[in-house]
């Protein structure tokens, strides 16, 4: 796997884990100071969006945004966080955006 230089790594457990690249936008990007994160998720069975959300809770900069944020997977907004994801999925954290 290609390592993402200068990217933060968040791990929900020591091992075994699956890595996901999460794109950040708006307030999430500003809070973290990065355009994307590499997140390692350990799940019972196949990893789901809910497992990814749980792993992201370890990052204090996102804690206040996560309850109001949604995810997109492969450019589709997700309402059901039991959706199974793979390391090839394009995942984005979509925080609430204000404005008109």
* Number of C-beta neighbours around residue 2 at 10 A: 5
Question: Whats the size of the chain, residue-wise?
Answer: 100
User: In the prediction, which pLDDT does 52 show?
Assistant: 96
What is the Cα–Cα distance from 81 to 50, expressed in whole angstroms? Answer: 5
pLDDT tens, the chain, 100 aa long: 444 444 555 555 444 789 999 999 999 999 999 999 999 998 888 999 999 999 999 999 999 999 999 999 999 999 999 999 998 999 999 998 765 4
What is the Cα–Cα distance from 59 to 6, expressed in whole angstroms? Answer: 16
User: In the prediction, which pLDDT does 43 show?
Assistant: 85
User: In the prediction, which pLDDT does 10 show?
Assistant: 56
């Amino acid at each position: 796997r290609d390592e993402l230089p200068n990217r933060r790594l968040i791990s929900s457990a020591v091992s075994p884990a699956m890595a996901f690249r999460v794109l950040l936008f708006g307030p999430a990007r500003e809070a973290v100071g990065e355009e994307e994160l590499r997140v390692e998720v350990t799940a019972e069975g196949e990893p789901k969006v809910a497992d990814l959300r749980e792993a992201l809770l370890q990052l204090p900069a996102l804690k206040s945004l996560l309850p109001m944020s949604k995810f997109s997977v492969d450019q589709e907004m997700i309402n059901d966080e039991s959706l199974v994801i793979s390391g090839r999925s394009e995942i984005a954290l979509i925080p609430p955006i204000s404005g008109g």
